[in-house]
Structure 1
């Protein structure tokens, strides 16, 4: 009588699913760079045959493009609930400070910095991949923030004529200095929480001096 259970087959273990495989490939690209990553190594780490890997991704170029696309899709929309919360605040300074902390935590996290560095390093080789990354990640988040700032302006909490420009300015006031330090200075120590709060406070104060009611 059948119990409905599936008896596992012995032999080679099952390989990673596509999401896990792309995570493994992403880690390989980040660790070894595009040149140092091989399809053989990715297949071995993912426990799939080379033939299976090449059926899914015809080349290392195709695998790299899929890795970046997958990364963008996983993170797309992550900032939206925080932007929505900012749009509902009644205390504009406190709301901007909360949002600034969340923005710093996202953009300055090691995984995001690593992917940003990887995409920048390979931008000449893969201009379309880099352009898609910017459009669907950075530009998408700026547009989301701009919509929120426009909402705050309509509520009388800000004075803004160009919400897109204001969103870009706010973002750079909050993250520019730490982003440059962490991506351009080899061996730079991460900012402390107090240092990041100070950067956020100064950025928000500067932003409100220009756009405050």
Structure 2
């Protein structure tokens, strides 16, 4: 029964994710999700107490699936440039994925009306960048980076990785970058970062 329940919950998340991406959070109703899943609203409420809770589950499942792999790279034992370059490539591939970009836009759009934006940040970006901060703190302790606030250092890395393309891509100004463009962008970002922070 547990396997069936988890499968049902995942089916709801997948259907809701598709609906949210296609028509936005506000225009998607619990009734519509229930209809698409093939059940009643009562069944839906057995799994989720609100549309906001479903959206939170959609955000978490998407982030866990794609972005978490980028942060696992930090466990590698390569030199700092190689590790950060590999991380940067995985990170940009993850956040530029159409479904992740759509969810991010919805979270930003809903931030003024509900706790969804905060929930998205607390359970996605914040957790990930805490892992980066921990990695950078280890590099500081090992004297591979200059003494500094690892949290601020992590935010500078994030800004450098996103600087050239995230905003224009999100606004539809540029096409998705190809692999060679991503490699060049990440290489420039890591070079600037290490020039600023290496002793």
TM-score by length of 1: 0.80
Residue deviations 1:51-83 (CA, integer Å, cap 9, x gap)? 32245445xxx1233322442256344444212
Structure with higher helix content: 2
- TM-fit CA distance, 1:22: 1.6
**Structure 1 residue aligned with 2:178:** 192
Change (3 A) 1:73 1:185: closer
User: Unaligned regions of 5+ residues in structure 2, if any?
Assistant: 1-6
**Structure 1 residue aligned with 2:154:** 167
8 Å CA contact 1:23, 1:67 repeated in 2: no
User: Unaligned regions of 5+ residues in structure 1, if any?
Assistant: 1-15
**Structure 2 residue aligned with 1:43:** 34
Q: Which moved more, 1:151-160 or 1:70-79?
A: 70-79
Superposed CA RMSD: 2.0
Cα distance in structure 1, aligned partners of 2:81 and 2:25: 43
Cα distance in structure 1, aligned partners of 2:57 and 2:44: 17
Cα distance in structure 2, aligned partners of 1:192 and 1:74: 22
- TM-fit CA distance, 1:191: 0.9
Cα distance in structure 1, aligned partners of 2:48 and 2:60: 18
- For residue 25 of structure 2, give the secondary structure of its aligned residue in structure 1: helix
**Structure 1 residue aligned with 2:22:** 31
Q: Which moved more, 1:176-185 or 1:133-142?
A: 176-185
Aligned residues, how many? 190
- For residue 177 of structure 1, give the secondary structure of its aligned residue in structure 2: coil
- For residue 27 of structure 1, give the secondary structure of its aligned residue in structure 2: helix
**Structure 2 residue aligned with 1:154:** 141
8 Å CA contact 2:73, 2:83 repeated in 1: no
Match of 2:130 among 124, 129, 143: 143
TM-score by length of 2: 0.85
Change (3 A) 1:160 1:114: farther
Cα distance in structure 2, aligned partners of 1:96 and 1:34: 34
